[in-house]
Chain A
Amino acid sequence: MAITSITPDLVEPTPALGPISEAWRRFRRDRLASVGLGVLCLLLFAALAGKVLTEWWVVFDPTAIRLPDKFLPPFSLSPASTGIQDVSVFGHYLLGTDELGRDVFARMLQGSFVSLSIGFIAVGIAVTVGITLGGLAGFYGNLRLGFITVDTLIMRFTDTMMCFPAFFLVLTVVALLPPSIYNIMVVIGLTSWAGTARFVRAEFLSLREQDFVVAAVALGVPERRIIFRHMVPNAMAPVLVSATIDVAGAILTESALSFLGFGVQPPYATWGNILADGKDFIFDAPWLFFLPGCAILIVVLAFNLVGEGLREALNPRLRAR
């Protein structure tokens, strides 16, 4: 107790915050990242609304084809010729119609859920594989399997995966497999885990030497508990950052695949394939091209900004500056 009385100015003047609320405070100070987070919340809402309103309780029907109404600009009224059961909600096409007279607003709503779930599921797969392999290599690295250590085995496999150019590999597999939305998610996920595996391994290697882990081992805490209770949470910060940025990457990859014709196939709408289809009508119906393009830009930008904001908020080394 004598020590605290000698150096009272070293004691935190404010009540100590937990690491999470501390990071949240730093994150909120970053204006761009906060705006990004706001956009993502809106997007999440739009995606959920899209799922509900276009599939479960169909208010906006993204599949209804109304050929007389094709290429109507945004905010135009449904013409009187449209059959009564086909008239869009409020009698308006908020974002116009496409070459088959489908309501672009409904398609964008549906697409927001599909695009977002491609991003999240692909990154979920990549992160799961990355943490598992990186964690195994980091924790059980010295274990020998015959003539080869676990670390060598896993990391050489990771190197092998990194030898394939990512987009080329995705394209090869997607082109050879039957087109389906699940294949695209799985392929993007299974080709992008190498980075995560590498830095989870690095984190584990340094964590294994730290006092709290050594203490836990000395106390006889079971290995499973050490890994999942003590090490994984401490290795999560860089994973979270790269996962956020990878979601953005997955959405972009999907749109690039759509451009080449290997993206999500109809009847599913994604922002990527609305954009890729819209490019053919760039002069006749510019909204078909610019709306999804700008939507992708804004959402991917938001993911990137939030990722960078998280990086600054979670990285103790940058904090000192």
Chain B
Amino acid sequence: MWAYIVRNIAQRLVLLFFVSILAHSVIHLAPGEPSQVDPSNPRMKPEDIARIRAAFHLDEPLYVQYAYWLRDLATGELKSFKDSQPVLPKIGQRFLNSLPLFIGTTLIVWSLSFPVGIQAAVKRGSRFDRTTTVLAYTLISIPGFFLSYLVILGVVSFLNVPVIGMKTFGTEDAEPVFQFMDRIWHLVIPSLMGAAGGIAILSRYVRSQMLEVISQDYVRTARAKGLPEEAVIYGHALRNALLPFVTMFGFLLPGLIGGSVIFEQIFAWPGLGRLGYEAMLARDFPVILTLNFIVAVLTLAGTFISDLLYVLVDPRIRLE
């Protein structure tokens, strides 16, 4: 067990190294440079560009630039090209902004998908099953920003729920309770929109998993010995159907950054996804690379945790 864990972590560290090298080469080999973002600016003289390039080590060979990046990241000295602010605190701030959105989305997805999926599986072929199936496919198939715009239109016409930003402007002096509730209200629509696709996918998955388990022999046995239907579904079937979902907790982690660009852009939410998007527009390499690195760390940590969870919940699986 411990040998497996140590070996696995070592493998993942090697993988992380290759991921960061790949990210570095993709970004530096692709055309487009920080010094060329604003070519029409008359105040940018060739000597300025040369100075910028020297300051950011852009004239050095790639592996030297990589070493600089790694050293600065390790010492926490890494600075953004765009505004010379340290990268890590900048990312930390945006992370704190993204966190409530991520938690809200995840809570909505997981608390809605399971009841819907289980009901659909238990009453297979019923009107409820057919309706949720069609609804789920529609939610998967609709472009996220199209749906968001429709919802924004509806909300601003009929409901008094805020749709832009993290808090109402000018409420800094209000009571803490009011500020808190203001924050919560601002969360509602963005996290619902972010959750829409997730609910559709996860509830379909729950449904197929439940269907798979319900047709097993031990469920038939449980029914045959006269257990009430509730006990059969929730005691015998659901517990076994839950297995793959325990491991999915691990895969949630990278969603902190990747899935939110569009929604943060629509709802003017100053989170990590938007930070990445703005960094790309400005060719702000340190920020892009560090974000990419963090995502890779989260992904690797996520798959590692899900492997371990699998062993914990399923006694049939042993690590070697």
Given A248-B141, A297-B138 in contact, is the A176-B31 Cβ separation under 8 Å?
yes
B146 lies within 8 A of A297 (CB): yes
A293 lies within 8 A of B295 (CB): no
Given A160-B18, A168-B276, A304-B137 in contact, is the A173-B257 Cβ separation under 8 Å?
no
Q: Give the residue of A159, A165, A259 whose beta carbon is less than 8 angstroms from that of B145.
A: A259
Closest to A294 in B: B146
B262 lies within 8 A of A176 (CB): no
Closest to B204 in A: A308
A243 interface contact, C-beta 8 A: no
- Least distance between B11 CB and chain A CB atoms (Å): 8
Q: Hey, which chain B residues are within 8 Å of A301, CB to CB?
A: 137-138, 141
Q: A272 to B145, alpha carbons, bound, how many Å?
A: 11
B213 interface contact, C-beta 8 A: no
Q: Hey, which chain A residues are within 8 Å of B26, CB to CB?
A: 172-173, 176
Given A248-B141, A301-B138 in contact, is the A165-B280 Cβ separation under 8 Å?
no
Q: Hey, which chain B residues are within 8 Å of A259, CB to CB?
A: 143, 145, 262, 265
A256 interface contact, C-beta 8 A: yes
- A-B pairs with beta carbons under 8 A, tally: 122
Closest to A308 in B: B137
B296 interface contact, C-beta 8 A: yes
A163 lies within 8 A of B19 (CB): yes
B259 lies within 8 A of A260 (CB): no
Q: Give the residue of B31, B133, B141, B146 whose beta carbon is less than 8 angstroms from that of A178.
A: B31
Contact with B along A197-213 (1 / 0, CB 8 A): 00000000000000000
B143 lies within 8 A of A164 (CB): no
Contact with A along B259-295 (1 / 0, CB 8 A): 1011001000000010011001101000010011001
B27 lies within 8 A of A172 (CB): yes
Given A296-B146, A305-B137 in contact, is the A166-B19 Cβ separation under 8 Å?
no
Contact with B along A24-52 (1 / 0, CB 8 A): 00000000100000000000000000000
Q: A256 to B262, alpha carbons, bound, how many Å?
A: 7
B32 interface contact, C-beta 8 A: yes
Contact with B along A91-107 (1 / 0, CB 8 A): 00000000000000000
A177 lies within 8 A of B30 (CB): yes
B258 interface contact, C-beta 8 A: yes
- Least distance between A317 CB and chain B CB atoms (Å): 9
Closest to A289 in B: B149
Q: A256 to B23, alpha carbons, bound, how many Å?
A: 22
Q: Hey, which chain A residues are within 8 Å of B138, CB to CB?
A: 297, 301
Q: A181 to B18, alpha carbons, bound, how many Å?
A: 29
Closest to B124 in A: A321
A165 lies within 8 A of B15 (CB): no
B22 lies within 8 A of A160 (CB): yes
A236 interface contact, C-beta 8 A: no
- Least distance between B302 CB and chain A CB atoms (Å): 10
- Least distance between A146 CB and chain B CB atoms (Å): 16
Closest to A301 in B: B141
Given A168-B257, A171-B261, A296-B146 in contact, is the A304-B141 Cβ separation under 8 Å?
yes
B165 interface contact, C-beta 8 A: no
Q: Hey, which chain B residues are within 8 Å of A171, CB to CB?
A: 261, 276-277, 280
Closest to A251 in B: B143
- Least distance between A16 CB and chain B CB atoms (Å): 26
What 9 pairs between A and B have smallest CB-CB spacing? A165-B258, A176-B30, A300-B141, A301-B141, A293-B146, A163-B296, A175-B280, A255-B143, A163-B299
A interface, CB within 8 angstroms of B: 32, 156, 159-160, 162-168, 171-173, 175-178, 248, 252, 255-256, 259-260, 272, 275-276, 279, 282, 289, 293, 296-297, 300-301, 303-305, 308, 321
